[in-house]
Amino acid sequence: MDFELSPEEKAFQKEIREFLDKECNENVVAETLSLQGAGPYSKELLRKMGANRLLAPRWPEEYDGRGMGAMAEAIKVDEINSHHAPFPLDGVEIGNALLISGNEEQKKRFLPGIASGEIDIALGYTEPNAGSDIASIQLRAVEDGDHFVLNGQKIYNSEAHVCEYHWLLTRTDPTAEKKHRGLSMFIVDLKSPGITIRPLITSGGLRTNEVFYEDVHVPRENLVGEKNGGWAVIMSALYGGGGGGGLATGTKNVINTLVKYVLEEKQDADENKWIPEAMADLYVKTHVGELMGVQATAFADLKVTPPYGGGGAVSRLLSGDTRRLLYNTAMQILGPYGQLAKDSKWAPLKGEILREFMDAPRWTIVHGSQEIQKLLIATRGLGLPRK
């Protein structure tokens, strides 16, 4: 048993932390906090990170990675979050799936671009009638000689407006007896004629998109895996990641910032006596969520199933709940000032708490809702019956 990062991981953490301390300037942070997707400053930073091989530490060196484990990926995510650097969210994750499911030509074509920060890929699963139930998507792909013709609609495809490619789940066989058997995965150039991207904005101000496909021609070499074998590819994308989460430096920073605020602004007042214990509770929950996440990541690197099979999903459940609790508590601490947006007179802590409070609900919905996580833990982890 050991709770410390390895010397190699510590060195990587130091390297990326120092790099971002220096390079993640206020223009980049402003772009990240605007929630509008990676802008020009962010793209420039991503390219610099790529040049320093900081984007895909988990990939083999031949694809500009470092051949490290899931823990290095978790360290990267943690540092990016705590610096408010742009998040090359899906490109690297999709790259992980490509490493498992892609052919040699596809790996050579896409991986170096992702690792160098030149290209990013948006995740294209969700449709208006297919959210948690991914296998019921309808966007149709019809084979036609050396290409496929695509028609249909995706929804909530984040970053599609700033990405170069789309990791797109389509239906190639509408007659398949089981609906997840008739699916195929493509990488689509988002500049292809027939694609229309329209903004959708969350109440927290985050830009995401609807993406419409109208007779879009996609060459056969962009099919990932087998035709009608899309389900296996999606599984490699969902589970090939293997952890990647856990470290909570950003959240602990927020807690410390709040403590400082309370100590400076809210001294002695009797009605604030509840605050220290509430903050301690949040710190405990954050720390425990972090530990579980980090351990799940370590198990993934060791290729060992954790006891009870819970793994990272268990940590995600706790951390998602804790995030909402944190920002709700923070809003209670700020009282009437909490309502003030960042550009308002009197706004505390640069309006950051309000922004996070408004954005917090997303984290218990995206990438598999809390309920879907619970379903997976119950049936796969605890072996509870489905029927």
Residues contributing to the site for other proteins (CB under 8 A):
1-6, 9, 71, 255-256, 259-260, 262-263, 275-277, 279-281, 283-285, 287-289, 291-292, 294-295, 297-299, 302, 304, 306-308, 310, 314-315, 317-318, 371, 374-375, 377-379, 381-387
The answer to whether residues 177 and 116 touch, using CB atoms and an 8 Å cutoff, is: no
Q: How far is CA 89 from CA 63, 114, 215, in A?
A: 18, 11, 28
Record the tokens describing residue 268, joined without a space: 């002695």
Residue from 36, 136, 202, 228 in contact with ligand FAD (CB under 6 A)? 202
State how far the Cα of 50 lies from the Cα of 117, in Å rounded to an integer.
5
Instruction: Pick between residue 124 and residue 246 the one whose CB is nearest to ligand FAD.
Output: 124
Residue 157 contact partner, candidates other proteins, ligand FAD, none, CB within 5 to 8 A by sort of partner: ligand FAD
Instruction: Pick between residue 218 and residue 275 the one whose CB is nearest to other proteins.
Output: 275
Residue from 69, 102, 112, 124 in contact with ligand FAD (CB under 6 A)? 124
Residue 377 contact partner, candidates ligand FAD, other proteins, none, CB within 5 to 8 A by sort of partner: other proteins
Residue 83 contact partner, candidates other proteins, ligand FAD, none, CB within 5 to 8 A by sort of partner: none
Burial environment of residue 215 by CB neighbours within 10 A (0 to 12, 13 to 18, 19 or more): exposed
The answer to whether residues 154 and 124 touch, using CB atoms and an 8 Å cutoff, is: yes
State how far the Cα of 343 lies from the Cα of 365, in Å rounded to an integer.
28
How many residues at the interface with ligand FAD, by CB under 6 A? 20
| Residue 373 binds to ligand FAD (criterion: CB under 6 A) | no
Record the tokens describing residue 44, joined without a space: 């420039």
Instruction: Pick between residue 2 and residue 177 the one whose CB is nearest to other proteins.
Output: 2
Collapsing DSSP to helix, strand or coil, 184 comes out as strand
Residue 197 contact partner, candidates other proteins, ligand FAD, none, CB within 5 to 8 A by sort of partner: none
Record the tokens describing residue 65, joined without a space: 């990675």
Record the tokens describing residue 387, joined without a space: 């029927």
Backbone angles phi, psi at 56, to 5 degrees: -135, 60
Backbone angles phi, psi at 349, to 5 degrees: 45, 40
Residue 248 contact partner, candidates other proteins, ligand FAD, none, CB within 5 to 8 A by sort of partner: none
| Side-chain half-sphere CA neighbours of 4 within 13 A | 5
DSSP letter, residue 363:
G
Q: CB of 131: closest distance to other proteins in angstroms?
A: 17
What residues between 142 and 161 interact with ligand FAD by CB under 6 A? 156-158
| Residue 365 binds to ligand FAD (criterion: CB under 6 A) | yes
Question: Angle CA(356)–CA(202)–CA(374) in degrees, nearest 5?
Answer: 75
State how far the Cα of 256 lies from the Cα of 251, in Å rounded to an integer.
9
Q: CB of 96: closest distance to other proteins in angstroms?
A: 20
Query: Which amino acid makes up residue 275?
Result: I
Q: Nearest residue by C-beta to ligand FAD?
A: 131
| Residue 366 binds to ligand FAD (criterion: CB under 6 A) | yes
Residue from 333, 362, 377, 381 in contact with ligand FAD (CB under 6 A)? 362
Buried b / exposed e over 238-260, threshold 16 CB at 10 Å, is: eebbbbbbbbbbbbbebbeebbe
| Residue 87 binds to ligand FAD (criterion: CB under 6 A) | no
| Residue 208 binds to ligand FAD (criterion: CB under 6 A) | yes
Q: CB of 386: closest distance to ligand FAD in angstroms?
A: 10
Q: Please report where in the chains the tokens 């799940």 appear, as a residue.
A: 296
Q: CB of 203: closest distance to ligand FAD in angstroms?
A: 10
Residue 365 contact partner, candidates ligand FAD, other proteins, none, CB within 5 to 8 A by sort of partner: ligand FAD
Binding range to ligand FAD, per CB under 6 A, among 56-64, 121-129, 289-297, 308-316: 121-129
| Residue 375 binds to ligand FAD (criterion: CB under 6 A) | yes
Using CA atoms of 334, 340, 346, 349 in order, give the dihedral in degrees to the nearest 10.
60
Residue 319 contact partner, candidates ligand FAD, other proteins, none, CB within 5 to 8 A by sort of partner: none
| Residue 131 binds to ligand FAD (criterion: CB under 6 A) | yes
State how far the Cα of 342 lies from the Cα of 350, in Å rounded to an integer.
5
Q: Which residues bind ligand FAD (CB under 6 A)?
A: 122-126, 131-132, 156-158, 202, 206, 208, 362, 365-366, 369, 371-372, 375
